[in-house]
Structure 1
Amino acid sequence: MDGDRVDKVLQDVLKEITPSEQEKQQTSAILDKVKSATNEILKPFGFSHLVAGSFIRDTWMRDKKEFDVFILFPKNRSREKLEKDGLEIGKNIAKKLRGKHRIAFAEHPYVRANIDGYEIDIVPCYKVDSALRIKSAVDRTPFHNEWLSRHLFPKFIPEVRLFKQFCKGQGLYGSDTKTLGFSGYLCELLTINYRNFRTLAEAAAKWEPGKVLINLEGFSGFDDIDYLHKKFPKQPLIVVDPVDPGRNVAAAVSPENFMKFVFACREFLKKPSRDFFFRKPFQVDPEKLEREMLNKKSKFIGFSFKAPDVIPDILWPQLRRTGKRIRDMLEDHDFGVMNWDVWTNDLDKCIIFFELESWSLPKHRKLIGPSIFSKRHTGEFIEKYKDKGRIWIENEFWVAEIRRTFQEVRPKLKEILTEDEKTLKAKGIASYLAKEITKKFDILQERELISHARRYPEFGELLTNFFEKRVV
């Protein structure tokens, strides 16, 4: 590792990503404006509020103009009343600031406002005494704020920015269900633990899945690795929330993205470059995509349908669950699925697609039956298959040759999807998707997939990355 080169790259990147004094003043002015309006709207209620997010800690990124305002409700207020009054308060704050707003949803609905180009989430939560007594997930945020105010020292701020930018450059920044990566809070905790980005990258280059534990508060009972794997199953990175030991802050990080981060750190330390921090502008090349498909000699098929009217954090898990279920159904009928993926523009279009070993299968398939030593099962097997084709014995087992219902994958995929909503759900298709698929879906083969890549650049990027898919 060239330490001097690493430090030079980090210094140069930091200059690019650190907000200017003018930007900081502009942000501070917006914060004061929002606080003043919020205080005025809350006067009749007697509630307090809390502004949270990276702006408060000065770890914000130049291209992320957003922060959160939490309206603190008494803990004895009903959930229904909290939601109703919370929305009303949020709308009034947006109105007073002459901003646009819409209703968004997480664990409960909240107002997302756009004020002078800043995206501000106005979120109702309960004012509780301890993070261990929360009534909803967002109730933890004030405790995160307070803990970070005591541990995130000024010297860590540029290091947090470097870490966030590195994750962005690798497509790993964000704990939403689309990204499955590193949240801002997780970036801050890991920076506090390792003190600077270079040390963090050096440590991460040696990480092994399931063997990384960060316990900043030193909570007892976390020394037993078997216990940890039971408490946080299949989670490659464990960062115990310093305000709630029952929560893994890194729970959203997928195994694939964990390994992507590890290998990205290794490569960066070997060959330091600003390219690790900034994603190159992407241009879809449909002709290249078509050549890639032809060169692979495998087959591609998928289907598109209208995106249901749900938030992305619900839509993406449903897409992945549905894709996995359809893959299993195709493989149950001997269509070998090499790979698959899902995509949505979060507005009006969803696509689930598969890479297959082949389009078609032989007319007949081989079915292994019972042992010849099982008299009852032998009789049943022979009776069932004697008129359907050949029957013979291999070693001690009966074998039948039976005709396939589907030789081609396209009719099979169409048969899977051509059902009413109830049947689709029974097959394992996610609920919101089942409703839309029942209305209309379109089967997509290679040419249609390329056509969609032209029309939707983000899908084109996904499809391109699909062919270049690699961690190392």
Structure 2
Amino acid sequence: MMTTTVDAVPKGARELCTPKDEEAKRLAETVERVAAKTRLAAAKFPETRGVVLGGSFAKGTWLPGEADIDIFVKLSPEVDETRFEGVGLKVGFEATKGYPRGKKYAQHPYTEARVKGVIVNIVPCYDVRAGQWKSAADRSPFHVELIKTRLSEAQKLDVRLLKKFLKGVGVYGAEIEKEGFSGYACEVLVLMHGGFSDVLKYFAHLKAPAPERMLSLSDPVDERRDLAKAISNENVARLVLAARAYLRRPTLQFFLGKSGRMRPDLKAHIIGITFTHPESSEDILWGELKRTMKHLSGHITRAGFDLARTAIASDDRGESTFLILPEIQELSPFGKRMGPSVLMEREADEFLARNSKRARLVWAGEGGQLQILKNRDELRLTDFLKRILRGGVAKMGGSPAIGRAIAKSGRVVEGRTLQRIAKRKKWLSAGLDDIVSDSLGTSSD
């Protein structure tokens, strides 16, 4: 039996998540104004097949002050990709004439405008039957219809509560920077499980569908599509812990913004690589930053420096910092390297030829595997990082653009110097706070 959770949440949570009538009226007027202009603009092109309203406002699941308005321009499936993009942008720019607007990018470019203080996206999609998708946006009109017809008004409030909760614990947002839960994922979770509390109970007792993935969430409109694919395991784990903490002691603070306990003394041990880079869209930038950080972390670990935690901080424009919390900052003067078995004659001979002259010690271990002890080039992690910066981060893999940016402007800073810089940069200060904070639900929060 479907449950409603309105009376089960802390006092004030319902009001926090419910838009005022005046806001709903103002948004409705804005939507109708832009939608009418979009219809007129679309009618000039014979390839168009109508206009559909989308986003959280159309579905009735938006949070106060945070409505997203999507207007989908349907085009004939016979239209090629170049024409599809061209018509979509022309309609979007015509419909938003007189308002601040620009071109944004997903799979295809679309128009984003600010109308009366509200962000409006005008997005092209193909007019196709379910399952015959040609672009990622083609599913969106079906998503709108699903949520409008399948969710009750009580469940729409549950969606709002869930969104607010996820925002409060820091796991909401489908952008690459966050890798969290999308608004549509919240709607599907409520649709599947019944209500807000039911969703939290599901996560509190979550069972992983596969060893490498903590969550799977099929799109009811396209069951082959996993909505959880873009959600990081770290964010799923954070939600599991937060759900358990909330169910033990539900308070309004979870909806207002709640984090784990911060350990400021650890900031003295953080090492940062600060650098500037060309501006790009946030999704492209964060994809490149994360890819480079992954390669850099692997390179550091292979050199013998075990890392406790890493993070990325960025102003989302032209400046970023890789943050590293090492387990140890200084190594012994030498390190061990494993070679092949002595029974692999050719490989063993080649290994010895390459390494025996520089090795401090060479021996065969109990399993018959060759082992050597070699002097390390750098003992301190900061010295190792400085050598990487001189030699070129791009050689390690990751983003060539970020590698070039680090080679040109990268600087290794640590401890108090890093904290002084963070006092002038809010985005860096937030990154430092995050890397030295417990996950919510792991301590007596």
Q: Percent identity?
A: 28
Q: Which moved more, 1:408-417 or 1:244-253?
A: 408-417
Tell me the equivalent position of 1:52.
54
Report the AA paired with residue 83 of structure 2. K
Tell whether 2:415 aligns with 1:437: no
Tell whether 2:255 aligns with 1:292: no
Structure 2 CA distance for partners of 1:278 and 1:307, relative to 1, 3 Å: farther
Alpha-carbon distance, 1:64 to partner: 0.6
CA distance in 1, matches of 2:165, 2:347: 61
Map 1:245-284 → 2, pairs under 5 A: 245-279=223-257
- The answer to whether the 8 Å contact 1:236/1:258 transfers is yes
CA distance in 2, matches of 1:461, 1:157: 32
- The answer to whether the 8 Å contact 1:110/1:124 transfers is yes
Report the AA paired with residue 239 of structure 1. L
Tell whether 2:173 aligns with 1:169: no
- Structure showing greater relative contact order (alpha-carbon pairs closer than 8 Å, 6 or more residues apart): 2
Map 1:374-385 → 2, pairs under 5 A: 380=350, 383-385=353-355
CA distance in 1, matches of 2:189, 2:351: 60
Tell whether 2:93 aligns with 1:91: yes
Unaligned residue ranges in structure 1 (runs of 5+): 211-228
- The answer to whether the 8 Å contact 1:67/1:119 transfers is yes
* SS of equivalent to 2:157: helix
CA distance in 2, matches of 1:153, 1:434: 50
Structure 2 CA distance for partners of 1:92 and 1:448, relative to 1, 3 Å: farther
Tell me the equivalent position of 1:469.
438
- The answer to whether the 8 Å contact 1:240/1:248 transfers is yes
Tell whether 2:132 aligns with 1:133: yes
Report the AA paired with residue 340 of structure 1. T
CA distance in 2, matches of 1:173, 1:124: 25
Tell me the equivalent position of 2:30.
30
Structure 2 CA distance for partners of 1:383 and 1:164, relative to 1, 3 Å: closer
Tell whether 2:376 aligns with 1:404: yes
CA distance in 1, matches of 2:226, 2:59: 22
Residue 304 of structure 1: which of 244, 262, 274 is its match? Answer: 274
- The answer to whether the 8 Å contact 1:209/1:255 transfers is no
Alpha-carbon distance, 1:61 to partner: 0.6
Alpha-carbon distance, 1:160 to partner: 1.2
Alpha-carbon distance, 1:371 to partner: 4.9
- The answer to whether the 8 Å contact 2:294/2:398 transfers is no
Residue 284 of structure 2: which of 282, 301, 314 is its match? Answer: 314
Tell whether 2:312 aligns with 1:336: no
- The Cα offsets for residues 48-92 of structure 1, whole Å up to 9 and x where unpaired, read as 211101111221111213211111111111111121222222111
CA distance in 2, matches of 1:36, 1:376: 76
- The Cα offsets for residues 199-227 of structure 1, whole Å up to 9 and x where unpaired, read as 222233211222xxxxxxxxxxxxxxxxx
Residue 325 of structure 2: which of 351, 355, 361 is its match? Answer: 355
Structure 2 CA distance for partners of 1:372 and 1:82, relative to 1, 3 Å: closer
Alpha-carbon distance, 1:386 to partner: 4.7
CA RMSD in angstroms, aligned pairs only: 2.7
Tell me the equivalent position of 1:189.
188
* SS of equivalent to 1:238: coil
Structure 2 CA distance for partners of 1:25 and 1:358, relative to 1, 3 Å: same
Report the AA paired with residue 427 of structure 1. M
* SS of equivalent to 1:250: helix
* SS of equivalent to 1:83: helix
- The answer to whether the 8 Å contact 1:17/1:61 transfers is yes
Tell me the equivalent position of 1:68.
70
Alpha-carbon distance, 1:26 to partner: 0.8
Tell whether 2:387 aligns with 1:415: yes
CA distance in 1, matches of 2:351, 2:212: 41
- The Cα offsets for residues 318-376 of structure 1, whole Å up to 9 and x where unpaired, read as 21221111111112211222211112121121111211233332322234445556665
Structure 2 CA distance for partners of 1:151 and 1:385, relative to 1, 3 Å: closer
* SS of equivalent to 2:175: coil
Alpha-carbon distance, 1:438 to partner: 3.7
Alpha-carbon distance, 1:437 to partner: 2.5
Alpha-carbon distance, 1:379 to partner: 5.1
CA distance in 2, matches of 1:75, 1:163: 36
- The answer to whether the 8 Å contact 1:202/1:265 transfers is yes
Tell me the equivalent position of 1:144.
143
Tell me the equivalent position of 1:108.
108
- The answer to whether the 8 Å contact 1:65/1:117 transfers is no
Report the AA paired with residue 207 of structure 1. L
* SS of equivalent to 1:133: coil
Report the AA paired with residue 460 of structure 1. S
The number of residues matched between the two structures is: 433
Alpha-carbon distance, 1:18 to partner: 0.8
What TM-score comes out, normalization by structure 2 length? 0.89
